[in-house]
Amino acid sequence: MKFNNILSFFTLAAEVVALSIGGKQMHIERDSDTLQSIVTYDEHSLKIYGERVFVFSGEFHPYRLPVPDLWLDVFQKIKALGFNVVSFYVHWALLEGEPGKYLADGVFAFEPFFNAAKQAGVYLIARPGPYINAESSGGGFPGWLQRIKGQLRTRAPDFLAATDNYMANICSSIAKAQITNGGPVILVQPENEYTGSSGTVIGGFPDADYFAYVKKQMRDAGIVVPFISNDASPKGIFAPGFSVNGSTAGDVDIYGVDSYPLGFDCAHPSTWPSGALSTTWHSTHEKQSPSTFFSLNEYQGGAFDPWGGLGFSQCAALINHEFERVFYKNNFAAAAALLNIYMIYGGTNWGNSGHPGGYTSYDYGSSITENREITREKYSQMKLEANFLKVSPSFLTVSVGTAAVGAFTDSSSIFATQLLGNGTACNFYVVRHSDFQQTTALTYKLSLNTSQGVLSIPQIDGSLTLSGRDSKWHVTDYDLGGKTLLYTTAEIFTWKKFDKKTVVVVYGGSNEQHELSVLSSSEAKQIEGTGVTIKSTVGQTILNWKVSSTRQVVQIGDLFVYILDRNTAYNYWVPDFVRADNWGAYTSNIENRTSVIVQAGYLVRSVYIKGAALHVDGDLNATVPIKVIGAPSNTNALHFNSLKLSFTTDPITGEWSSILPYAVPSITLPSLSKLNWKYLDNLPELLPTYDDSNWTLADHTSTNNPTTLKTPTSLYSSDYGYHTGVLLYRGHFTATGNESAFVITTQGGSAYGHSVWLNSTYIGSWAGIDKSSAKTATYTLPNLAAGKNYVLTVVIDNNGLDENWVVGPDEMKNPRGILNYAITGQVQPAVTWKLTGNLGGEQYLDKVRGPLNEGGFFAERQGYTAPYPPNHNWVAGSPEMGIDKAGVAFYQADFKLDIPHDYDVPLFFDFGNTTTSNGTANYRAQLWVNGYQFGKYVNNIGPQSSFPVPQGILDYHGQNWLAIELWAQQADGAHLTNFTLRAGTPVWTSMDEPRMAPRPSYSKRAGAY
């Protein structure tokens, strides 16, 4: 058992262990508690400033929302849930596109992210890798790692050396943002899901020396807060005391695990596989890491959807509010004290940043949608659960007691878990169906041991109801700031002790029977609503009721019990006032913070007092009532956003009531089909006069890539510095006259495609299918004239680099480009190949939008996707007219927006499905907005056809530049269908209007070809 206390720096020295990797002698700090005393922990929970905290965290990646001014909006929506922490990954490939040159400016800067978290009052868990997975291209690894010989994620000296510059820089930034320096970072995770291996691994697996090297990189950069881990399955790897060949050098401070119990089958959202609900979390943790609290550092909050899937709405239905009720409460029943929901906000895989297994959207079916809306019921359900734990400090010292079918109830179909208070009288009970898949309701009664003896509950009347796919909290001897809630079958949303009263808010499902009892001799009376049965007996006041949509309030002395149905509770919020000490806006123990309880509809972001006025800031999407419970006694005026409200005061409860008016704004959007579109041939390489002398010659006769070469020279794009976006190849040869077919094997990741031309003659395409990452295709050649020079032009889509989740096979090194080729009647060496990708490759030109944003098409190499391209002499042509033959077209237009101020309005670019007489048309399109690639649409694969683009990428009050690259993969060409700009529901918001992300305009690029 491990206890962390405030330590005197002069009495303790850091425990170190020496080891040698790659000829370097290292000293590894063993525990963070010798380095700082602010963030500590024991076997029960994390502590901050000595105060226990439940870590309710959500995953949010800043690189998936490239508008820094919108990060605060996301943080505030997470904080409004009742969460207190955000976990984030760092995508190495976006920061070190060129080896040795780390660049984290503009949309890639971390200081604005740290500042926004601090302003919102959200702590951070930093996860910089160097490997992250995260459905990101290369799992976060930069493409140039394909050129090193050493095995990735091992002690291979060249791999370790490759990580040094990145880790030194990013960890230095994180170190400066630690809580010890006044920042929000409280925990840091080395590596990621270091759990599985296959085949031979340098140094063996798991390798404590490799993991220790990563830890040392972090400590050397100044990181002093505790290290956590996230075992992809509970194997105990590097938990405290875990030993590899006698070495504990890789062990972290706080061991944690990941779990995605429903997997990623969004095609069957109502299917809960048998065995998906763990019943061994607690016992496994006690065996593997008994000195630390149970930590779920990634737990399923949604699912990724593959190319050809059914869309993220299906994933949201799979991991829905019912899943949260059953699976999250099952985690709490195992005494989890850290729960990080992956993802809480997914965002967008813009600019080629995603892995090949997924498309542009990374909505993930999460609680906050890709366009930052909070309309999914799962958001509201999560708020109920998080707010309960936020006001239940006694949960943080519980021990898991009896957990069995039939325990504490009269039903053999209910599984109940008892959580025993340690040092408190409070006990918690989590009940669920013994068959967690059950979709029908059942009734039951409780038999619970309380301070007043064993009670059969309900005591007055009726039975309790457990709906299908539901789980409930029941509590006994629950402390309400000095008052004892003897028991409640209704779930607690929140409670608060105000100046002269205490308020508790409970809720239940529609038409459920519930009962609670308060230890009190005070008279009870119903002051709002009807239908609550009240019974007083020997120091108890018992309330029994059937849940309805009508709010009911019962007063018991100076305790006010607010009884809600679940749907009404969804509209309640508990914003905290900012403290003036070290806690600031962060959430502290309920006894140490002041709050109000607000019913206000869509969103409440924050509260503050100015003069004698209480200000509530939030968002509205409809006219709704506002009720404020517990308004401070020194306030007498109420404001919502900029609006001063008149209100009434309830003479008994003191509750303030008013109406929040919502006005639907007038929004006018341009018709994209009527824009002044310009056209440019985006594949001039097909012209007989095209000069490719500036292209990269594919002349490497060997490769470090583990994929064996099948060609005279390497045609792997990363061997030449091209790691992102579309790739182009030109193969020059002199005909013998005997050629009849061209056979080519290409690889570009799932759902990729390729097209081939001989000189200017189209000879065929692989249009792609959802699961295929490589293709061998045979194309018939026309009759070639002996002695004449010919050029094969091959266009290959690169949908991102593979991840490297399993250590050993180095799947991230799976090459992109041409793997093999043959021309009948020719020998391979007769073809001389050149290739290109983004202009400059690793010496990429657009430092603002980053190293992955651009690919190899002509317009991208020229920089024509940026604002103010030199389009004066381009001909007219629109993407909805398209082209009449296979090829690639570039279309560009501009338009102005004038969206009303003070409204957050989601905007979407929608693509209609294009069909032909032969079925679905084969084409691909890329969407560019003010120079940012914000969509890759594949008409014949899908599923994504709607692409949200946030304010800050779009100028809502000015001019915008739009471009479409249309790649027709069929002989008769292609065109867009019903390409439109659409607005979602406008939300009146208190959010500050975001500034534009930097969007440098076009300037002629030296050396562009």
Torsions phi, psi of 165, nearest 5? -65, -45
Phi, psi torsion values for 577, nearest 5 degrees:
-80, 145
Report the C-alpha dihedral over residues 695, 697, 703, 709, rounded to 10 degrees: 110
Inter-axis angle of helices 111-120 and 71-80, nearest 10: 30
- Please list, in sequence order, all residues whose beta carbon lies within 8 angstroms of the beta carbon of residue 120, skipping any fewer than 6 positions away: 72, 75, 76, 78, 79, 585
* Sheet-wide strand order for 656-660: 572-573, 597-599, 624-629, 656-660, 648-649
Burial (0-12, 13-18, 19+ Cβ within 10 Å), 689: exposed
Spell out a b/e string for 135-161, using b for 16 or more CB atoms within 10 Å of the CB, else e: bbbbbbbbbbbbbbebbbbbbbbebbe
Q: Nearest CA to 786 among 733, 730, 834?
A: 733
**8 Å CB contact between 601 and 621:** yes
Catalytic: 193? yes
**Cβ-contact 78, 88 below 8 angstroms:** no
Per-residue CA distances from 866 to 143, 579, 671, 850 (Å): 25, 45, 21, 13
Residue from 43, 96, 135, 298 carrying the catalytic annotation: 298
The DSSP line for 476-523 is EEEESSS-EEEEESSEEEEEEE-SS-EEEEEEE-TT-EEEEEEE--S-
Q: Please confirm, yes or no, whether 298 is among the known catalytic residues.
A: yes
**Phi/psi at 368 (nearest 5 deg)?**
-105, 125
Question: What element of type H or E holds 324?
Answer: none
What is the total residue count of the chain? 1009
Q: What's the distance, CA 863 to chain centroid?
A: 30
Give the three-class secondary structure for 345.
strand
Token pair 């609006």: residue? 643
Note whether 934 and 353 are within 8 A (CB): no
Q: Give buried/exposed letters for 929-938 (b at 16+ CB in 10 A, else e).
A: bbbbbbbbbb
Contact 136, 95 (CB under 8 A): no
Helix (H) or strand (E) holding 943: none
Q: Are strands 471-479 and 427-433 parallel, antiparallel or unpaired?
A: antiparallel
Q: Find out whether the peptide bond into 128 is cis, omega within 30 degrees of 0.
A: no
Distance CA 539, CA 528 (A): 24
The residue to which tokens 């709607």 are assigned: 946
For helices 157-176 and 208-220, the axis angle rounded to 10 degrees is: 40
Tokens representing residue 229 in the block: 């881990």
Asked if 765 and 819 count as a contact pair (C-beta separation under 8 A), the reply is: no
Helix or strand (DSSP H, E) at 209 = helix 208-220
Structure tokens at 492: 């607690």
707 neighbors 921 (Cβ within 8 angstroms): no
The contacts of residue 433 (CB under 8 Å, 6+ apart) are 413, 414, 415, 442, 466, 468, 469, 470, 471
* Active-site option among 135, 193, 322, 515: 193
Question: By three-state DSSP, how is residue 861 classified?
Answer: helix
Pairing of strands 915-916, 257-259: unpaired
Q: Which residues are catalytic?
A: 193, 298
